[in-house]
Amino acid sequence: MPIEIVCKIKFAEEDAKPKEKEAGDEQSLLGAAQGTAAPRDLATFASTSTLHGLGRACGPGPHGLRRTLWALALLTSLAAFLYQAAGLARGYLTRPHLVAMDPAAPAPVAGFPAVTLCNINRFRHSALSDADIFHLANLTGLPPKDRDGHRAAGLRYPEPDMVDILNRTGHQLADMLKSCNFSGHHCSASNFSVVYTRYGKCYTFNADPQSSLPSRAGGMGSGLEIMLDIQQEEYLPIWRETNETSFEAGIRVQIHSQEEPPYIHQLGFGVSPGFQTFVSCQEQRLTYLPQPWGNCRAESGLREPELQGYSAYSVSACRLRCEKEAVLQRCHCRMVHMPGNETICPPNIYIECADHTLDSLGGGSEGPCFCPTPCNLTRYGKEISMVRIPNRGSARYLARKYNRNETYIRENFLVLDVFFEALTSEAMEQRAAYGLSALLGDLGGQMGLFIGASILTLLEILDYIYEVSWDRLKRVWRRPKTPLRTSTGGISTLGLQELKEQSPCPSRGRAEGGGASGLLPNHHHPPGPRGGLFEDFAC
């Protein structure tokens, strides 16, 4: 039969201790043992927070209509702030930008651009040999036979050299150039450099970036003025149409910087015979934004990354590299105007490779070849005007001077005049229209308007959340053990089994009355006066 012993212990200093510590209601046994304070409740935090309205909505005090209205006002202001903040964030993530144009001050000297010109006719008919006509049949459309009428089946010619064919059969600048002047000084064909494009053999004036010619004044007569004979009698007859067949007569011209290779078949403009064409230029220095505001090619640590065969990166150089890779993949060779040391494509597959290049790269920036614009770019704006030449008096003079008739002069001669409008340049720069500093400023204004908060207010809220969370984690990790005795009203109740397990006294022999061993504890009173904090309770 279980026996329960009830002991009533009277403390000597019971009246001197506070009732709060006697009940143990403010903190747990573990917290009391470690001496840690309990976290602040929401009412205490709200009464000390700098967030406007939080103390009136959640602070200490009775609940009523006034507190309810304050809570609604606080929630409404918070919702309005979040709505405005979301709109500001969406506007910032669109990365808006604007373009600022700043005209530069006039300079005493301006670097003259490079001027590339090509005759639209690629091969001179009189310069083609029988072998050239045979090899270029697919490119020119001429019948593959010699001048005696022998057809292709009976013809045997050595392997062609496309570079040699273009050099021999292309229009020679020394024959086309009739007069040349730059800033009032005479120039000649030696001031032009040979360059190959889709039009074959072309020529570039002022091509060397290391020795660029300066222009010391603006207006007509201060730039490049040339007279050309396009030699229409040398144009190829058209037997059948190909993709390279041209029905025009004249030249193609491109004005570009020295660091940029000519891409004249897409970026050039035409100049017709029988006219004097005036090209008024203005230098434009463009600055684009990289990601995430724009799509320009950002500079590396030292300079723009170079492409093989070119000294600097440009969109034209990138496009030519892409064309070369497409031709190499399809034909295992390259065209003459493409950079590199690979084998030149033979004439019999030249037009096939050219067509494949146009088809594969027809998508532009969305196609397989994406060439981003460099972040710093120099280009030349152009205004083109023209007048008819020659007049009746000059036609007779030019016919006598060049030993031609007047009809030939009108059908073949042209004048090209390229000059700076003024020695000023336009600086066009993309700028971020809404940056991070503007976003933070707008967010701070909205926070102050609706909820009266700042960065420090947010830190207060985060600190309170950390305090409460950390306290709860400590309670979970260090949950106290269930106490072995409970005290209610000064009465302690101990079970017999607990008393036997917790007693430090060794088991005694059977008691003097013949009872069971260790059944009841012995109370001993040591000699001397009783007193102290409590009465002794021992075995």
Percent of the chain with pLDDT over 90: 28
**How does DSSP classify residue 232?**
G
Contacts 24+ apart (CB under 8 A), 235-239: 235/121, 235/125, 236/121, 236/122, 236/123, 236/125, 236/140, 236/141, 236/142, 237/125, 237/142, 238/141, 239/141, 239/142, 239/143
Which residue type is seen at 176? M
Query: For 448-458, what is the mean pLDDT?
Result: 87
pLDDT of residue 359: 57
Which residue type is seen at 222? S
In the block, residue with structure tokens 């309170």? 464
Which of the four pLDDT bands, split at 50, 70 and 90, describes residue 355?
low
φ and ψ at residue 283, rounded to 5 degrees: -70, 135
pLDDT at 52 over 80: yes
| H and E: helices and strands count for the chain | 17, 17
pLDDT tens by residue, 368-409:
678 888 888 888 999 999 999 999 888 899 999 999 999 999
pLDDT at 55 over 70: yes
Query: H-helix or E-strand containing 229?
Result: strand 224-229
Which of the four pLDDT bands, split at 50, 70 and 90, describes residue 517?
very low
518 Rama class: left (phi>0) / alpha (psi -120 to 50) / beta: left
Q: How far apart are CA 55 and CA 49, in angstroms?
A: 7
φ and ψ at residue 359, rounded to 5 degrees: -70, -40
Q: How far apart are CA 106 and CA 97, in angstroms?
A: 28
Report in angstroms the alpha-carbon separations of 507 from 296, 496, 500, 514, 520.
Answer: 92, 14, 9, 15, 11
Identify which of 83-97, 252-266, 283-297 has the greatest average pLDDT. Answer: 252-266
More confident residue, 488 or 233: 233
Identify which of 50-54, 104-108, 248-252, 497-501 has the greatest average pLDDT. Answer: 248-252
* pTM confidence score: 0.68
Which of the four pLDDT bands, split at 50, 70 and 90, describes residue 40?
confident
pLDDT of residue 300: 58
Query: For 335-353, what is the mean pLDDT?
Result: 82
Which of the four pLDDT bands, split at 50, 70 and 90, describes residue 155?
low
pLDDT tens by residue, 4-26:
555 555 444 444 444 444 444 44
Q: What angle do CA 121, 256, 355 make, to 5 degrees?
A: 45
pLDDT tens by residue, 67-77:
889 889 989 99
pLDDT of residue 402: 92
Of 49-58, 117-126, 187-196, 246-255, the poorest mean pLDDT is in 49-58
Query: H-helix or E-strand containing 166?
Result: helix 162-169
Please answer whether residues 59 and 43 qualify as being in contact, where contact means their C-beta atoms are separated by less than 8 angstroms.
yes
Which of the four pLDDT bands, split at 50, 70 and 90, describes residue 360?
low
pLDDT at 516 over 80: no
pLDDT of residue 414: 96
The secondary structure of 60-109 as a DSSP string is SS--SHHHHHHHHHHHHHHHHHHHHHHHHHHHHHT--EEEEEEEPPP-S-
More confident residue, 239 or 468: 468
More confident residue, 195 or 481: 195
Which of the four pLDDT bands, split at 50, 70 and 90, describes residue 47?
confident
pLDDT tens by residue, 179-224:
999 998 999 999 999 999 999 999 999 998 888 898 888 888 889 9
pLDDT of residue 119: 96
pLDDT at 102 over 70: yes
Query: H-helix or E-strand containing 450?
Result: helix 436-450
Q: How far apart are CA 342 and CA 423, in angstroms?
A: 43
Helix (H, G, I), strand (E, B) or coil at 429: strand
pLDDT at 138 over 60: yes
Which of the four pLDDT bands, split at 50, 70 and 90, describes residue 105?
low
